[in-house]
Amino acid sequence: MKRVLVTGAGGFIGHHLVSYLKKKSYWVRGADLKYPEYEPTAADDFALLDLRRWEDCLQATDGIDEVYALAADMGGMGFISAHHAEILRNNSLINIHTLDAARENGVKRYLYASSACVYPEYRQTDANVTALKEEDAYPAHPQDAYGWEKLVTERLCTHYLEDYGLETRIVRFHNIFGPLGTWDGGREKAPAALCRKVSLAKHSGSFEIEIWGDGEQTRSFCYIDDCVDGIYRLMRSNHREPLNLGQDRLVTINQLADMVAKIAGIKLARKHIPGPQGVRGRNSDNTRLREVLRWEPQISLEEGLRRTYLWIDSQVRAAERGALKSVPNRSSVGRPVSVS
Ligand code: NAD
Handedness of CA 315, 319, 325, 327 (dihedral sign): positive
Q: What is the CATH number of the domain that holds 310?
A: 3.90.25.10
Looking at the structure, do residues 229 and 269 belong to the same domain, yes or no? no
Instruction: Going residue by residue through the chain, which has 340 residues, state the pLDDT in tens, using 9 for 90 and above.
Output: 899 999 999 999 999 999 999 999 999 999 999 999 999 999 999 999 999 999 999 999 999 999 999 999 998 888 898 999 999 999 999 999 999 999 999 999 999 999 999 999 999 999 999 999 999 999 999 999 999 999 999 999 999 999 999 999 999 999 999 999 999 998 999 999 999 999 999 999 999 999 989 999 999 999 999 999 999 999 999 999 999 999 999 999 999 999 999 999 999 999 999 988 889 999 999 999 999 999 999 999 999 999 999 999 999 999 988 876 554 443 333 344 445 5
Looking at the structure, do residues 155 and 19 belong to the same domain, yes or no? yes
Handedness of CA 213, 82, 180, 324 (dihedral sign): negative
Looking at the structure, do residues 115 and 194 belong to the same domain, yes or no? no
Instruction: Give domain status of residue 290, yes or no.
Output: no
Shortest-distance Cα residue to atom 27 of ligand 1? 13
| Pocket of ligand 1, beta carbon within 6 A | 8, 10-14, 32-34, 49-52, 70-74, 94, 113, 115, 173, 175-176, 182, 189
Q: How far is the CA of 225 from the centre of ligand 1 (A)?
A: 17
Instruction: Give domain status of residue 48, yes or no.
Output: yes
Looking at the structure, do residues 205 and 321 belong to the same domain, yes or no? yes
Looking at the structure, do residues 210 and 303 belong to the same domain, yes or no? yes
Q: What is the CATH number of the domain that holds 108?
A: 3.40.50.720
Looking at the structure, do residues 126 and 16 belong to the same domain, yes or no? yes
The count of structural domains within the chain is 2
Shortest-distance Cα residue to atom 8 of ligand 1? 11
Distance separating alpha carbons of residues 25 and 265, to the nearest angstrom = 40
Distance separating alpha carbons of residues 28 and 195, to the nearest angstrom = 31
Positions annotated as catalytic residues are 146
Instruction: Give domain status of residue 239, yes or no.
Output: yes
Looking at the structure, do residues 98 and 186 belong to the same domain, yes or no? no
What are the φ and ψ backbone dihedral angles of 69, each rounded to 5 degrees?
-95, 95
Q: How far is the CA of 74 from the centre of ligand 1 (A)?
A: 6
Full domain range(s) for residue 184: 179-220+250-279+299-332
Amino acid at 244: N
Looking at the structure, do residues 35 and 170 belong to the same domain, yes or no? yes
Q: Out of 32, 53, 74, 88, give the residue to mutate to test ligand 1, the one with the largest number of ligand atoms within 8 Å of its CB.
A: 74
Looking at the structure, do residues 229 and 260 belong to the same domain, yes or no? no
Cα–Cα nearest to 228, from 16, 9, 36, 4: 16
Instruction: Give domain status of residue 82, yes or no.
Output: yes
Count Cβ atoms below 10 Å from residue 262 Cβ, excluding itself. 16
Looking at the structure, do residues 7 and 102 belong to the same domain, yes or no? yes
Looking at the structure, do residues 86 and 44 belong to the same domain, yes or no? yes
Cα–Cα nearest to 113, from 154, 142, 145: 154
Instruction: Give domain status of residue 339, yes or no.
Output: no
